Copies of this chain bind each other. A is one copy, B any other.
Amino acid sequence: MIRLLIVDDHPIVRDGLRGVFAGDPDFEVTGEAANGAEAIALAAGADVVLMDLRMPEMSGVEAIARLRDTHPAVRVLVLTTFDTDSDVLPAIEAGATGYLLKDAPREELIRAVRAAYRGESVLSPSVAGRLMGRVRGPSPGTLSKREREVLALVADGTTNREVARRLFVSEATIKTHLLHIYDKLGVRDRAAAVGEAYKRGLLP
């Protein structure tokens, strides 16, 4: 018997998930939560948590991180709509056992929960590809931490000079970072870099 906690801010999605597992006697849905805070409060009685990421009040990523501390035995299976870098990577880092997209068929979801219960890692194909590329030499288009910092500030309208001041480096350094960013994103100016970054989900 696998005890499940369903965490999603959409009642309809919660209904759908409940329905998927209701028919199977191996599963028992022990609770539902609409955000991260509720999830933590209800995590005690669960083996596996099905966790959405984008929620009001407390995000899924934060909830996962806290669950690592308060309920380390609970496996967290992320189930979300988005497969962008800025969603996937933080969730994995925070300690998710698996990462599925909501367009997964029901059977795959059930298999994934069983696997997560056993502590195995489950990843949607597109998410898996994203992680693979992350391991074997960061693929072209992957920005370094510093580069993301710079780009985020640029997206807010910060001039190079001001970015330099805020990051405690010289303006020349910022320009170098930007040139690298242009290279990686295949663009020619800062505005396009911001646009491309949003398209790729590199910026939240």
Find A187's partner among B9, B106, B157 (CB 8 Å cutoff).
Answer: B157
- For residues 129 through 166 of chain A, which have their beta carbon under 8 Å from a beta carbon of chain B? 154-159
Dominant SS at the A interface?
Answer: helix
User: Which residues in B have their C-beta under 8 angstroms from that of A15?
Assistant: 15-17, 19-20, 106
Whether A195 lies near B156 (C-beta < 8 A) is yes
CA distance A13 to B193 in the complex (A): 35
A interface, size bucket: 35 or more
Find A13's partner among B12, B157, B189, B198 (CB 8 Å cutoff).
Answer: B12
Measured CB to CB, the residues of A under 8 A from B are: 9-20, 81, 102-106, 109, 154-159, 187-196, 198, 203
Subset of 19 A-B contacts with CB under 8 Å? A10-B13, A10-B102, A11-B103, A11-B106, A12-B13, A12-B102, A12-B109, A15-B16, A15-B20, A18-B19, A154-B192, A155-B192, A157-B187, A157-B188, A157-B192, A158-B192, A190-B190, A191-B193, A194-B198
